[in-house]
Amino acid sequence: MAPVVNMQIDFKKQVQYGDILIVETEFINTMAAKIIFRFKIFRKSDNELVATAESTQVFIDLNREMLLYPPAFVLDWKKKVGLTG
């Protein structure tokens, strides 16, 4: 499991009900037992950047204890896609 433990959002422009938004997500590589994503949110109609954000998730075991090292499946995935560190 990997619950979200931190989320930060910087609102740059207003959006209105009905606006269509495009979310670009970037995986931030880290050696720690966590997942970090950065987000850029654009209004589709004018491609205006309306918000940026970052989220952090940590890995926990079935006893809800935080893991100190990334799980094997994460290390395997990183190796498969060419990520190190």
Give residue limits of the domains in the chain: 4-81
Q: Dig out the tokens for 70 from the structure.
A: 């990334």
DSSP element (H, E) containing 76: helix 72-81
Predicted local distance difference test score (pLDDT) of residue 36: 97
**Domain spanning 4-81: which CATH class is it, in words?**
alpha beta
DSSP string, 51-70: EEEEEEEE-B-TT-PBPSS-
Position 85 confidence tier, pLDDT thresholds 50, 70, 90 = low
The answer to whether 55 touches 37, Cβ cutoff 8 Å, is yes
What single DSSP character describes residue 46?
T
Q: What is the pTM of this model?
A: 0.86
25-55 per-position pLDDT tens digit = 999 999 999 999 999 999 999 999 999 999 9
Per-residue pLDDT tens over the stretch 48-76: 999 999 999 999 999 999 999 999 999 99
